[in-house]
Amino acid sequence: MPGRWRIQTIRLQGVLVEACWRPMEGDVAGDFHDVIDLRDGRAAIVIGDVAGYGSEAAHRADDLLISLRRAFRTTHRPTDVLEQVDAWVAAEPGDLFATMACALVDPAKRVVHVASAGHPPIAVVQGGTASFLNRIADPPLGIAAERRQISYPLAGDGALFLYTDGLIERRGTPLDENLLRLLKIAATMNAETGGGEALARRATDIYGQPADDATVVSVRLRPQAELMRSGERATGRTGHEVKLRLYVDPRDLRSARTEAVARALERVVPPQMQIDIEVIDITAADGGLDTDGVMAVPTIVRVLPQPTIRVVGGIRSPSELARALHLPLDEEES
DSSP bridge pairs for 130: 125
6-230 and 241-324 share one fold: no
pLDDT band at 123 (very low <50, low <70, confident <90, very high): very high
Q: Which of 97, 182, 77, 207 is nearest to 132 (CA)?
A: 182
pLDDT digits (tens, 9 = 90+) for 43-79: 999 999 998 878 888 888 989 988 898 898 899 999 9
Handedness of CA 27, 33, 36, 41 (dihedral sign): negative
- Give pLDDT, residue 136: 65
pLDDT band at 133 (very low <50, low <70, confident <90, very high): confident
- Give pLDDT, residue 237: 42
Whether residue 323 has pLDDT greater than 50: yes
Whether residue 35 has pLDDT greater than 80: yes
Domain ranges within the chain, ordered by starting residue: 6-230, 241-324
pLDDT band at 230 (very low <50, low <70, confident <90, very high): very low
Which CATH entry fits the domain spanning 241-324: 1.10.287.1260, 3.40.50.720, 3.40.30.10, 3.90.470.10?
A: 3.40.30.10
User: Which of 104-113, 156-165, 229-238 shows the lowest mean pLDDT across its residues?
Assistant: 229-238
Please state, in angstroms and rounded to a whole number, the distance separating the CA atoms of residues 334 and 322: 11
Contact between 260 and 279 under an 8 Å Cβ cutoff? The reply is no
Supply the pTM of this predicted model.
0.69
User: Is CATH 3.60.40.10 what the domain over 6-230 is classified as, yes or no?
Assistant: yes
pLDDT digits (tens, 9 = 90+) for 244-269: 999 888 888 888 888 889 988 988 88
- Give pLDDT, residue 333: 47
Instruction: Name all contacts of 177-183 with Cβ < 8 Å and 24+ positions apart.
Output: 178/207, 179/120, 179/121, 179/132, 181/206, 181/207, 182/123, 183/123, 183/130, 183/131, 183/132
Please state, in angstroms and rounded to a whole number, the distance separating the CA atoms of residues 221 and 156: 7
pLDDT digits (tens, 9 = 90+) for 275-308: 989 888 888 765 556 556 677 788 899 988 877 8
**Where is pLDDT greater, at 126 or 80?**
80
The predicted model gives 164-185 an average pLDDT of 91
Percent of the chain with pLDDT over 70: 87
Specify the 3-state DSSP secondary structure of 311. strand
